[in-house]
Structure 1
Amino acid sequence: MNAAADLPHVLVVDDNPDASEVLALLIETEGFTAATAATLAQAREQVASHRPDLVFLDLNLPDGNGIDLLAELKNDQTTSSIKVVLLSGLLKPHLKDEAHLLGASAVLLKPLDHGQLSAALDHAR
């Protein structure tokens, strides 16, 4: 049996490759497996093929808005249980409210500090 298959899986969706790789490495040091996606299209493919337990989802992506993917995940019975943490470099109050109404577990300002990351991962365990 593959031990990695038993670990919770996290998907990091961010179009900044350095930011997504660093976050994925930090997630792996916390005892999770991690994958990255740079677009909504790649994120949809990852969700369909690897069904993550948690998604860290950037708000602004080259092919759309992270809010759109959040809504898709939460409105689909097969993915509605996936926890989603929305990330943004600039948070506007109405977006934070909208994300929570759509089912986001948290809405956090980038860059994340270790405490925020740990809290989000604890919530996904």
Structure 2
Amino acid sequence: MSSRIRSTLHRLCVGDEGQTTVETAFGLAALVTVMATALSGLVTIAMYLGLTDAAGAIARAEARGDAETVAELRADADGQVAISETSGTVRVTIRRSAGPFSLEARAVALRERAASS
């Protein structure tokens, strides 16, 4: 083998040219993955808080007996809304799919008695 080929092979196999570029590429890929995961987690938390707020609003409106507001809020809710009534309480459950996760928010309100005039 000629010394020229041998030196070229040695330089390609042993040299660390391009090492920084590869490390930077892997580092950036890892950083993008971590940031995307964190962002999707924040979006999921925001969706859950919105569902919880909607469930509470629907439960309070149902407890007051405000059917018109309940209908509006149910139409605006992003998910499946279930309302159940037990002795003196109203329970609202909202379920929604968020990618690979299933979110569920619940709220309970005491039934309000009509004011006697």
Shorter chain as denominator, the TM-score bin is: under 0.3
Q: Which protein shows a greater Rg? A: 2
Q: Which has the higher helix share?
A: 2
TM-score after normalising by structure 1? 0.26
TM-score after normalising by structure 2? 0.27
